[in-house]
Amino acid sequence: MVVALGILGTFTLGMTVVVTVFGAVLGVMLFGFFGRLAEFIVVAPRLSAITPLSPAVVAVGAVVATVIVGWFGLSPSGNRLTQRFPRAPVVVVLVWLGCLYLAMVETGAVIEGLFSSFELLLGGFVIALSLGGLLAIWSTVSTARRELAGLRDQLLEGSEPAVETHPTLAETTSRLAQQVGVPAPTLRITDSDRPESFTLGYGTAAVIVVSTGLFESLSEAEVGAVLAHEVSHLANADSRIMGTVLVPVLMAEELLDDNPDDVGDYLINAAIWTLKLYGQFGVAILSRGREWSADAGAVALTGSPAALAAALSTLSQQRQTPSTDLREWEQSVGALDILPPGDREQATGSFRTHPSTEKRINRLRQQVVDAEQG
């Protein structure tokens, strides 16, 4: 657990730095654009240049006049004026545009005066740099969370509430949740021959999904053990934790250029890809630890390590490659399934999201032996 948190912590820090740099570069570019726009504005003809009034006074007056003229043009008085003088709307629009022009150029003069010194100009540059980085982080994290929400919808598509079709299973799930003191999750059933179960969300929005292929393959006690495993994930806040640690991985995915066209793009892609793999390695380590904890929680809830061992053994023999078309990063969501995907490359190696099923079964069977000897 410490190793996983260390990897994920440094990975998240690295991704934050990368995204901040990208955003800072964008912020500097925008700062330069607005700087050139400001240069254009400050050389434009201004009323304050030919009167004793200061740019600030003219700017405030122009803003107030813009609001008043605009309001007058839309008011009943403006309508009556239009009826008496058909060309009045043209005059009103021209006056309104003139006030708006004065508000813009006089405000530009005020800003130019504020940033006339090097220190203030440098401060504006730093502000643009910081705001660009923060905006990039916010935008990327928001996109990642939207994609996670989209994946949740994809995984729940076509499922039905168990309370309508399998009320006994729904009652079992509620009872198990009550035992560990968490809100009762919604149990949903998917019509799929592939045996699978996974947990999504947390709190009152938590959902446990099991396939028809799962409970049709197992005995009542074994199904109860699987549900206890999923409820233990909720009790351990695993779906919330895994959803959180997946966000930086998604951030890396968002930064990858799908169509690199020069050496620089390839080098940046290679660096981000390496960072992404580092994050997926941390996710895998954390996920394996959460599975051991969920197994232990299931045994504590049911009091029967033999039932969970039998369920894992049966399900392992019937596993096939998932039918859901998941992108590479989405395969990490398999961490919330009771068993890893059927693809051997995903189920083994450093990036596997589950402990060895054989080791899990052996540990559970050893608990049965210890209980009998005790």
Co-location of 201 and 126 in the same domain: no
Instruction: Please check whether residue 334 lies inside any domain of the structure.
Output: yes
Whether the pLDDT of residue 373 is over 50: the answer is: yes
Instruction: Please check whether residue 4 lies inside any domain of the structure.
Output: no
Residue pointed to by tokens 């799929």: 192
Domain boundary among 132, 156, 179: 132
Query: What is the arithmetic mean of pLDDT over 223-242?
Result: 89
Co-location of 339 and 198 in the same domain: yes
Residues 246 and 350: their CA atoms lie apart, in Å, by 17
Two structure tokens written together for 177: 């949740």
Residues 241 and 239: their CA atoms lie apart, in Å, by 5
pLDDT in the model for residue 327: 43
Co-location of 115 and 164 in the same domain: no
Instruction: Please check whether residue 365 lies inside any domain of the structure.
Output: yes
Residues 131 and 35: their CA atoms lie apart, in Å, by 16
Residue pointed to by tokens 């009091």: 303
Domain boundary among 71, 106, 132: 132
Give the Cβ contact number of residue 157 at 10 Å. Answer: 9
Query: What is the arithmetic mean of pLDDT over 94-117?
Result: 74
pLDDT in the model for residue 125: 54
Instruction: Please check whether residue 1 lies inside any domain of the structure.
Output: no
The residue that leads in pLDDT, 370 or 329, is 370
What are the b/e assignments for 198-213, b being 16+ CB within 10 Å?
Answer: bbbbbeeebbbbbbbb
Query: What is the arithmetic mean of pLDDT over 136-161?
Result: 71
Model confidence pLDDT, tens digit, residues 339-365? 665 544 444 567 777 888 889 999 999
Co-location of 230 and 191 in the same domain: yes
Q: Can you list the pairs that 316-320 forms with residues at least 24 positions away whose Cβ atoms lie under 8 Å?
A: 316/357, 316/361, 318/194, 318/195, 318/213, 318/217, 319/194, 319/195, 320/194
Per the DSSP assignment, residues forming a β-bridge with 210 are 189, 197
pLDDT in the model for residue 170: 92
Q: Range of 58's domain?
A: 17-132
Per the DSSP assignment, residues forming a β-bridge with 190 are 211
Residue 40's pLDDT band, with cuts at 50, 70 and 90, is: low
Across the chain, mean pLDDT equals 76
Query: What is the arithmetic mean of pLDDT over 205-215?
Result: 88
CATH assignment at residue 275: 3.30.2010.10
pTM passes above 0.75: no
Whether the pLDDT of residue 121 is over 60: the answer is: no
Whether the pLDDT of residue 329 is over 50: the answer is: no
Co-location of 103 and 200 in the same domain: no
